[in-house]
């Protein structure tokens, strides 16, 4: 890795910094990383150990003397008064004093306000007007006894802690000196991470976090355990992003203030991130609607006019349960506040969902000691790259599958564009490179779609995302890891007596259930377990046994309920509560065990029967079939009564199964066991 560092220093002289220096000083001074690295870049841009040591000493001295700690504000003000002039490092925000028609500054840590500022600085650095930026400020103190209303503090010079200029061609030329893997490592080191401790997959997830800083109007969400650095990038790395802590905001603050006609955060920052999504609250009732409008179109209406902005939206928060539990009982957007939680239109505007649970909890050795870009240089070239788009980069090689609607296509194109700009800023990439990025983009969007399907049902049934090779016409489907190969209904023959059914659980959600029946020599006893205290489910299982007792000869003369004991166990595979739709599947399971003949492979059994053998049709057939597909079923046993509802099922969904219709309980048993 030494070679890579040397190559980086040679290729980008004066633009790199040793990240361990940042770490050492950061622990003692609570300043943003880009402030520190600006100073380190000025004083420690060398490989000579002695020069670095001296530089670190200078930086520490500057921070000790000039950086304003809130608790030492009065001490600094006193020094300023005594000396007449002083240089401070502080966060400066500016507003227009309408009464006096002049711009006035407020110092965040110094605690003074209403300090006059020259118009020159306000027009040069517009961000002073919104949220403020860190600056090195040369100040003077002059108290006029004749005019005691005049503010004694005078600002002589403001130097924003940002790169003064950027040559994008330098980045493009420099990138050609590195391989893809080397460049990814450099990017990760630049944000403070040590890539050698991460798997390839985790590296890509870290890159996805940077996407909102390099692409306009992208909406990204990351939920995961605590301590995985979800908000680190948006708070520390870039001076162009703002983290709205606690989630509390107003329409005026975020979008547009009608009273003073100023654009809010989305107009001034490249990226607006909401920390702790569970706490997002708008004081205005129409806040979420305006946010939805903005997320979809990059514009919003306030008053008589429509405003456009380029800021990306990021939502980060914690998941309090394991992902498995969440997927079984709810959906992955559950941590969002109630007013958004079941709003499929809001979540449909998400372009990417980063699986935060795949990123390990941060440990000290995850932070790098090696060389990376000064974060300010990194954020400036990312900002510059926002003006370029590579949304059509894959069109030469691939086209997207039929399951993607317009919003899906936009999401995938935005992700592809962002990742290409991040990894291949020089614009040189091969087919394999694009394919790797395209797969990641499809997965990121599919994760959103899978959750929408859980929230909105059949409206979002088409989740099988794919891409087609323009040369070979081969279609590749892209899975989502947490949905798993996780097929609940396995391929191949099961044990005799083991069958699967789909029904609506106690919680109201549709789930998958497994019924297992064991038979032993005995005296005709019947035991049912796994159902808990749900009376309807118990009755359904009992109905199946009573029907078998009365009609066993119609199935096979070899079945004896008098000389055998039957033990039936029902299992709720999705954790959505037991279902009452068990009777027909239980009958098939009992017959399968009695005849020692397994059910056909990958079969889901639908339907119910009464004690007299009357069949009942399947409610919400389309939604039930969608769950069959998600559970891995390839064959579905359906009562003929439900044929009338086939018009409600999308043809694409129907084409995924071999549908087997039955006319009577006995017919269902024969077809389920593959008996002609």
Reading the block at residue 638, the tokens are 């359906």
Long-range CB contacts (within 8 A, 24+) of 263-266 = 263/130, 263/307, 263/309, 264/130, 265/130, 265/131, 265/311, 266/294, 266/300, 266/309, 266/311
Query: Which residues make Cβ contacts (< 8 Å) with residue 633, sequence separation at least 6?
Result: 489, 500, 502, 602, 603, 604, 657
Q: What is the C-alpha to C-alpha distance for residues 634 and 631, in angstroms, rounded to an integer?
A: 9
In total, the chain counts a number of residues equal to 676
Query: Which residues make Cβ contacts (< 8 Å) with residue 505, sequence separation at least 6?
Result: 511, 572, 574, 576, 577, 578, 579
What residue has token string 């296509």? 409
Alpha helices, DSSP H only, in 330-396?
338-341, 344-347, 375-385
Q: What is the C-alpha to C-alpha distance for residues 625 and 376, in angstroms, rounded to an integer?
A: 52
pLDDT at 517: 92
Alpha helices, DSSP H only, in 509-596?
535-555, 583-595
Backbone angles phi, psi at 599, to 5 degrees: -70, 160
C-beta of residue 458 within 8 angstroms of C-beta of residue 626: yes
C-beta of residue 419 within 8 angstroms of C-beta of residue 211: yes
pLDDT at 485: 44
Question: Under DSSP, is residue 307 helix (H, G, I), strand (E, B) or coil?
Answer: strand
pLDDT at 328: 60
pLDDT at 441: 94
Q: What's the DSSP call for residue 236? A: I
| Whole-Å CA distances, 644 to 11, 339, 459, 572, 667 | 70, 37, 20, 29, 19
DSSP states of 600-628: PTTEEE--EE-TT--EEPPTTHHHHHHHH
pLDDT at 290: 84
C-beta of residue 581 within 8 angstroms of C-beta of residue 536: no
Helix (H) / strand (E) containing 512: strand 510-521
Helix (H) / strand (E) containing 578: none
pLDDT at 567: 93
Question: Under DSSP, is residue 399 helix (H, G, I), strand (E, B) or coil?
Answer: strand
Strand 498-504, strand 510-521: pairing: antiparallel
Q: Where are the beta strands (DSSP E) in 283-373?
A: 299-302, 305-308, 312-318, 352-355, 371-373
Question: Under DSSP, is residue 381 helix (H, G, I), strand (E, B) or coil?
Answer: helix
Q: What is the C-alpha to C-alpha distance for residues 496 and 591, in angstroms, rounded to an integer?
A: 9
Q: What is the C-alpha to C-alpha distance for residues 610 and 15, in angstroms, rounded to an integer?
A: 77
pLDDT at 29: 64
| Whole-Å CA distances, 171 to 18, 23, 209, 253, 378 | 19, 25, 21, 35, 10
Q: What is the C-alpha to C-alpha distance for residues 230 and 210, in angstroms, rounded to an integer?
A: 11
Mean pLDDT by 10 residues, the chain (676 residues): 78 81 70 76 71 82 80 86 88 87 88 86 79 84 78 85 70 90 92 89 93 92 88 81 77 77 81 82 75 85 80 88 69 79 83 91 86 83 88 90 89 94 91 93 91 74 84 86 66 86 84 90 88 87 90 84 89 82 92 91 91 87 84 90 86 84 92 84
C-beta of residue 601 within 8 angstroms of C-beta of residue 492: yes
Strand 635-639, strand 603-605: pairing: parallel
Query: Which residues make Cβ contacts (< 8 Å) with residue 452, sequence separation at least 6?
Result: 344, 347, 348, 459, 460
Residue 431 burial by CB count (10 A; 0-12/13-18/19+): exposed, middle or buried?
Answer: middle
C-beta of residue 573 within 8 angstroms of C-beta of residue 535: no
Q: What's the DSSP call for residue 116? A: E
Q: Where are the beta strands (DSSP E) in 147-270?
A: 153-160, 219-224, 241-244, 248-249, 256-257, 262-263
Q: What is the C-alpha to C-alpha distance for residues 447 and 439, in angstroms, rounded to an integer?
A: 12
DSSP states of 121-139: HHHH-GGGGTT-EEEEEEE
C-beta of residue 593 within 8 angstroms of C-beta of residue 558: no
Backbone angles phi, psi at 317, to 5 degrees: -170, 180
C-beta of residue 505 within 8 angstroms of C-beta of residue 576: yes
- Tell me the CA end-to-end span of the chain in Å, nearest whole number: 67
Nearest residue to 278 via CA among 350, 344, 334: 334
The sheet carrying 466-469 orders its strands as: 398-400, 466-469, 475-477
C-beta of residue 155 within 8 angstroms of C-beta of residue 116: yes
Q: What's the DSSP call for residue 71? A: G
C-beta of residue 393 within 8 angstroms of C-beta of residue 429: yes
């Amino acid at each position: 890795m030494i070679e890579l560092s040397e190559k980086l220093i040679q290729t980008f002289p004066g633009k790199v910094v040793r990240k361990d220096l940042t770490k050492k000083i950061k622990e003692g001074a609570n300043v943003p990383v880009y402030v520190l690295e600006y100073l380190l870049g000025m004083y420690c841009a060398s490989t000579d150990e002695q020069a670095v040591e001296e530089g670190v000493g200078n930086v520490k001295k500057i921070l000790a003397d000039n950086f304003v700690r809130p608790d030492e504000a009065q001490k600094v003000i006193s020094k300023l008064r005594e000396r007449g002039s002083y240089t401070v490092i502080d966060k400066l925000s500016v507003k227009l004093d309408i009464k006096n028609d002049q711009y006035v500054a407020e110092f965040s840590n110094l605690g003074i306000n209403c300090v006059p500022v020259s118009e020159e600085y306000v027009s040069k650095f517009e961000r002073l007007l919104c949220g403020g930026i860190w600056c090195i400020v040369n100040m003077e103190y002059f108290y006029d006894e004749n005019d005691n209303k005049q503010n004694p503090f005078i600002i002589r010079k403001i130097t924003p802690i940002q790169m003064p200029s950027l040559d994008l061609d330098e980045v493009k030329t420099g990138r050609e000196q590195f391989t893809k893997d080397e460049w990814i490592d450099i990017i990760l080191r630049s944000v403070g991470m040590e890539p050698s401790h991460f798997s390839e997959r985790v590296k890509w997830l870290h890159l996805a976090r940077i996407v909102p800083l390099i692409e306009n109007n992208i909406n990204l969400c990351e939920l995961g355990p605590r301590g995985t650095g979800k908000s680190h990038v948006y708070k520390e790395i870039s001076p162009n992003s703002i983290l709205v802590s606690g989630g509390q905001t107003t329409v005026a603050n975020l979008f547009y203030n009608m009273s003073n006609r100023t654009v809010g955060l989305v107009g001034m920052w490249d990226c607006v991130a909401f920390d702790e999504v569970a706490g997002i609250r708008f004081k205005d009732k129409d806040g979420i609607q305006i946010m939805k409008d903005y997320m979809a179109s990059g514009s919003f209406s306030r008053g008589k006019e429509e405003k456009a902005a380029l800021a990306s939206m990021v939502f980060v928060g914690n998941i309090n349960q394991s992902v498995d539990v969440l997927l079984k009982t709810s959906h992955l957007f559950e941590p969002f506040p109630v007013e958004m939680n079941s709003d499929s239109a809001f979540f449909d505007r998400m372009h990417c969902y980063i699986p935060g649970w795949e990123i390990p909890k941060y440990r000290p050795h995850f932070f790098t000691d090696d060389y990376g870009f000064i974060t300010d240089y990194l954020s400036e070239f990312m900002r510059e790259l926002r003006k370029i788009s590579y949304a059509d980069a894959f069109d030469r090689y691939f086209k997207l599958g039929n399951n993607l609607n317009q919003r899906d296509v936009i999401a995938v194109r935005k992700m592809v564009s962002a990742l290409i700009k991040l990894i291949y800023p020089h614009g040189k990439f091969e087919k394999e490179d694009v394919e790797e990025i395209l797969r990641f983009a499809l997965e990121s969007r599919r994760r959103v779609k899978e959750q929408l399907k859980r929230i909105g049902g059949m409206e979002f049934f088409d989740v099988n995302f794919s891409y087609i090779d323009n040369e070979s016409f081969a279609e590749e489907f892209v899975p989502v890891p947490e949905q798993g190969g996780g097929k609940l209904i396995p391929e191949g023959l099961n044990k005799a007596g083991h069958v699967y059914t789909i029904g609506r659980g106690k919680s109201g959600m549709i789930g998958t259930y497994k019924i297992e029946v064991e038979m032993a020599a005995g005296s005709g006893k019947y035991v049912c377990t796994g159902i808990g205290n749900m009376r309807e489910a118990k009755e359904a299982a009992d109905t199946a046994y009573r029907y078998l007792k009365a009609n066993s000869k119609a199935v096979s003369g070899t079945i004896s309920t008098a000389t055998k004991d039957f033990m039936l166990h029902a299992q709720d595979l999705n954790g959505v509560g037991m279902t009452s739709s068990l009777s027909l599947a239980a009958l098939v399971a009992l017959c399968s065990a009695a005849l020692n003949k397994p059910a056909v492979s990958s079969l889901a059994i639908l339907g119910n029967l009464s004690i007299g053998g009357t069949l009942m049709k399947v409610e919400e057939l389309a939604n039930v079939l969608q769950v069959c597909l998600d559970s891995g079923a390839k064959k579905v046993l359906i009562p003929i009564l439900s044929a009338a509802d086939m018009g409600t099922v999308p043809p694409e969904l129907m084409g995924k199964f071999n549908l087997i219709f039955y006319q009577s309980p006995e017919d269902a048993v024969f077809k389920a066991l593959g008996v002609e």
